[in-house]
Chains A and B, each alone.
Chain A
């Protein structure tokens, strides 16, 4: 990586239109390219600039054909098999935006949501937007909600993301409850993706979607995206009680998607008892809540559907120290708290979960050793601190992390009664 210039220009290409050369900004380190076919995302990759200011159309076409030919054809075959995609109307959807002191992010998300209702099929219930302000330090978010018509505002005084999510669950009016983080914006086809997943999977309890980077401007953002980010591929997956070929299922970290973009059937979510408030609670344990709810959805026997067109763009941490903290806390600590919790609450899968811990350790170690391969391919390397941080977070949480968190939220509940 050369002297601090790390920006990757982002391109959004519709493959059914004629391709043009892509022109990078001066000093760009590379290009991040999202390819769509008739609006639906089919491929995303990052490529190095290697000194050139341009990605030629011919080169781009070759790259697309090697990355996405199967998916282009699959999409054409699907159109042939299911000529008129079912337009099952979507019921009222409550979109819960859980936020804490980030009015700019909420404003950005609200404006991206403005175009969505147009894409809903005839007879749909529309969108009910709910901003859950989580233990705010000022009134900016309340004022902001007031100026946006049709946006409900509630305040959850107990600090912690899952407190806010459970509040949203209680306040929700819609049959579907979608959660969006305040650091994302939704894609223009976001609701269309939800409509099609909902139409094809009437029995599903939860929907997750693609999460792509909103910007790739700093080293931290690029390192995160290089390490896989939140991406989960471009094929729709229906997760059932088993996943052939994956013995660790449904424990695996993040195979279902991310909490930044997920939706549930409200009644089923309430039946499951909502989110575990001891996970995803503030700065102490800022992760694991989404893993835990997906795990419980699957273990309760409900299908979960991952739909790539149900897509949002996430603003990754800009600052390397914040990213390291996120690896240590959100993924290391949060993940291990979640595993320890499942080991207690689901003894049947205990042996499986212990194997998952070993797998996770091996995964970190392998991830680090992949750096040598990256070096050979001249890709930027991923700092050792990330792996160590994540392992360290997991190590701390393994020994009573979840119990500590339980005590902490008891304390919060008492204090905020």
Chain B
């Protein structure tokens, strides 16, 4: 071997010479390895059979480069692997078991991937099972016991990898600390205590390195007859249960007591599951066996928890959360930990003033999210799951007409049309039928309403606009956002980027690429602080805010300025459409969380005035329904009249609601606000579930905190009523419903364990409680520590 190997295949074996012979034969028969430098190390774990002879034969044959054998006296797969790692020096180590038969191009593919992805932490391939004899039916349900792994035919990142055929990056192994001290004992000889391979993958992922699934590295796991007996499966599952408990502890985030309460809850859940399974198992012998094996898995989990409880506290501390993902890694990694078969949805824009298209589904899309536009104004949406596609233009026309009628009618008849959302009902007035019937060509009339952009530009009196973007360490997203601002048909006077974490030096270089953009640092943490700094540094009459994870539409500024032509309007919000629906978290956010927040689909303009305020004060004015901070604008005058954003509120501090709290103050003073769908931005929703779940929590915390601060300021009892009565009751109702649903599912014995896409209720409840305490802790702090707008001490309505 002229060059140092880049891949070391480590085969740990214990008294399995016949099988090892087969595995080495597959290694000797590798093809396409002319340019690959690799070697092989067999770790003899106290074998008493003729293992050494077998290996010597292959060494003599010389077909496997650098084949050698070392022995490890300490019994167990983990010590053997550790020995293999220590006795080799290649940058990549492949753990292959003695019963794994590699595909002939395995080495070539592995080396190719390792070379092209030097930064990844570990990768593994497809693991197929070779049954020695046709397995009994119950064994088919437990292929996970044999490390079967098949995530499709595309290489992609995964949250976890099986131990068989795992190829790890030595640097990652060192960085995560495994080579210094594995925490979980692995299989000891044939006694099967498992979990070591689980630990390797988890800890590498926990150190922030990527795990990849590379299907080309395919191997066949040999399953002898003895491994398909009920007895073996029972023992195997019990041990897998133990590993599961240990692995859960490894990735757990939180203190020991939190872990213990979590484990108790899990145990209770598992036990609650048993009767249902038992009921199902009554049906057949096959199910009874499966149930028995399954139960042993649960039992193993209990044993694992018990084992952790018995550990010394220092060792437990060491174990717990050892593979926890670092905060940043979680934000960056788009891969969700939920294994889901969600397919990304495609967003399709359909302009109704042009001939309609036929819609078809591309392979691999979950469906189409169709947004209907009329002359650049969004007027409606339609969700088409892929199974309902294709549809032709005539069918699309029927759906489109049904979907856009409300928004078009609303635009044409201003506020005389149909019942507005319930929270505006006091101003509701049905339209005149004669007027409705007079509209012959609704879309054409509607498109005449759409303001041409340049109409404003020419006007001498057109107000100037500043765009403020507050950002925190997301340079890529910010670049996209700033590029989209360049394509605005009407340019604002200035664009200000407020960096809420200047010390990271991530944002400044990105902003420097856009010479027209002004960079303002604001080290005080909190979106409100950043927004206030932006306002103080701006010069225009109209101040528009957007976020860094947003793409603005070309007519955005024009539409905002158009909306402010009405001099009564102090604040304006606009439509926020999804920029992508690539993950289930984004999809759930768009269709459940977002729709819930707004209470309507958001294609109709709405005016929020003192009437609205008066009619809803007793329930806590639903100001949050006005829109989102990702697309809002204010007159500068508004800040002079009611002050700046409350710095105790908002992302980074309470969680959210700094925008709605300011609207609350405006409405309380008798000013008018408007939701105007002419101003459109597209927003990239959170793509991962943890992110969404955290967002649910912090939204609720911010919301409740804002209610309490609003009460503080104005003594409007409706806020308290909402915080302490309406919300708790609502959550109780939801909890009861969830309970009933669970009960029904239990009774019906349905196999559908589809998790709800609604963000977990307990996050909302936690958020609500955290909101109370947030208020108590922060109520003495000033709303605006820099104290520029001190004029806002008088309370009550004007």
- The residues of A with any CB-CB pair to B shorter than 8 Å are 15-16, 19, 61-62, 64-66, 69-78, 80-82, 86, 199-201, 235-236, 238, 240-242, 244, 351-352, 354-355, 358
Please, what's the 1-or-0 string for B320-342, where 1 marks a CB less than 8 Å from any CB in chain A? 00000000000000000000000
Indicate if the CB atoms of A241 and B388 lie closer than 8 Å.
Answer: yes
Of residues A16, A62, A66, A69, which shows the largest number of chain B Cβ atoms within 10 Å of its Cβ? Answer: A69
Q: For A72, give its contact among B352, B436, B752 (CB under 8 Å).
A: B436
Contact A351 to B752, CB < 8 A, known contacts A65-B430, A69-B431, A72-B437: yes
| Neighbouring A residues of B534 by C-beta, 8 Å | none
- Bound-state CA distance A255–B444 (Å) is 35
Task: Name the residue of chain B whose CB is nearest to the CB of A245.
Answer: B383
Q: For A242, give its contact among B385, B391, B440 (CB under 8 Å).
A: B385
Which 4 pairs of residues, A with B, have the shortest CB-CB distance?
A: A78-B401, A74-B405, A240-B388, A200-B394
Please list 16 pairs of residues, one from A and one from B, whose beta carbons are closer than 8 Å in the complex, sorted by A's number: A16-B437, A66-B419, A70-B418, A73-B408, A74-B402, A77-B442, A201-B395, A238-B391, A238-B395, A240-B388, A244-B385, A351-B751, A351-B752, A352-B750, A354-B748, A355-B750
Q: Which of B384-420 contact A (CB under 8 A)?
A: 385, 387-388, 391-392, 394-395, 397-398, 400-402, 404-406, 408-409, 417-419
Indicate if the CB atoms of A81 and B443 lie closer than 8 Å.
Answer: yes
Indicate if the CB atoms of B433 and A64 lie closer than 8 Å.
Answer: yes
Give, as a whole number of angstroms, the nearest-CB distance from B655 to chain A: 30
| Neighbouring A residues of B4 by C-beta, 8 Å | none
Give, as a whole number of angstroms, the nearest-CB distance from A109 to chain B: 29
By size class, the interface of chain B is: 35 or more
Q: For B436, give its contact among A65, A81, A241, A242 (CB under 8 Å).
A: A65
Indicate if the CB atoms of A80 and B444 lie closer than 8 Å.
Answer: yes
Task: Name the residue of chain B whose CB is nearest to the CB of A240.
Answer: B388
- Bound-state CA distance A355–B442 (Å) is 44
| Neighbouring B residues of A358 by C-beta, 8 Å | 744, 747-748
| Neighbouring A residues of B436 by C-beta, 8 Å | 65, 69, 72-73
Indicate if the CB atoms of B441 and A80 lie closer than 8 Å.
Answer: yes
B790 beta carbon closer than 8 Å to chain A: no
| Neighbouring B residues of A15 by C-beta, 8 Å | 433, 437
Give, as a whole number of angstroms, the nearest-CB distance from A233 to chain B: 11
Give, as a whole number of angstroms, the nearest-CB distance from B173 to chain A: 45
- Bound-state CA distance A238–B392 (Å) is 12
- Bound-state CA distance A244–B592 (Å) is 13
Please, what's the 1-or-0 string for B370-391, where 1 marks a CB less than 8 Å from any CB in chain A? 0000000000000101011001
Indicate if the CB atoms of A65 and B387 lie closer than 8 Å.
Answer: no
| Neighbouring A residues of B417 by C-beta, 8 Å | 69
Give, as a whole number of angstroms, the nearest-CB distance from B748 to chain A: 5
- Bound-state CA distance A351–B276 (Å) is 14
Give, as a whole number of angstroms, the nearest-CB distance from B690 to chain A: 26
Q: For A200, give its contact among B395, B402, B419, B751 (CB under 8 Å).
A: B395
| Neighbouring A residues of B751 by C-beta, 8 Å | 351
| Neighbouring B residues of A73 by C-beta, 8 Å | 405, 408-409, 436, 439, 442
- Bound-state CA distance A15–B438 (Å) is 12
Give, as a whole number of angstroms, the nearest-CB distance from B436 to chain A: 5
Indicate if the CB atoms of B383 and A69 lie closer than 8 Å.
Answer: no
Indicate if the CB atoms of A62 and B388 lie closer than 8 Å.
Answer: no
Task: Name the residue of chain A whose CB is nearest to the CB of B400.
Answer: A81
- Bound-state CA distance A77–B404 (Å) is 9
Indicate if the CB atoms of B432 and A78 lie closer than 8 Å.
Answer: no
- Bound-state CA distance A2–B402 (Å) is 40
Please, what's the 1-or-0 string for B522-536, where 1 marks a CB less than 8 Å from any CB in chain A? 000000000000000
Contact A81 to B405, CB < 8 A, known contacts A15-B437, A62-B430: no
Contact A78 to B430, CB < 8 A, known contacts A73-B409, A244-B385: no
| Neighbouring B residues of A70 by C-beta, 8 Å | 402, 405-406, 409, 418
Task: Name the residue of chain B whose CB is nearest to the CB of A357.
Answer: B748
Please, what's the 1-or-0 string for B730-766, where 1 marks a CB less than 8 Å from any CB in chain A? 0000000000000010011111100000000000000
Q: Besides the contacts A71-B405, A81-B443, A200-B392, what 5 more A-B pairs have beta carbons closer than 8 Å?
A: A77-B352, A77-B401, A77-B405, A200-B395, A351-B752
| Neighbouring A residues of B391 by C-beta, 8 Å | 238
Indicate if the CB atoms of B430 and A66 lie closer than 8 Å.
Answer: yes
| Neighbouring B residues of A78 by C-beta, 8 Å | 397-398, 401
- Bound-state CA distance A64–B352 (Å) is 27
- Bound-state CA distance A240–B391 (Å) is 11
Indicate if the CB atoms of A65 and B432 lie closer than 8 Å.
Answer: yes
B60 beta carbon closer than 8 Å to chain A: no
| Neighbouring A residues of B392 by C-beta, 8 Å | 200
Give, as a whole number of angstroms, the nearest-CB distance from B668 to chain A: 33
B291 beta carbon closer than 8 Å to chain A: no
| Neighbouring A residues of B343 by C-beta, 8 Å | none
Give, as a whole number of angstroms, the nearest-CB distance from A135 to chain B: 41
- Bound-state CA distance A80–B374 (Å) is 12
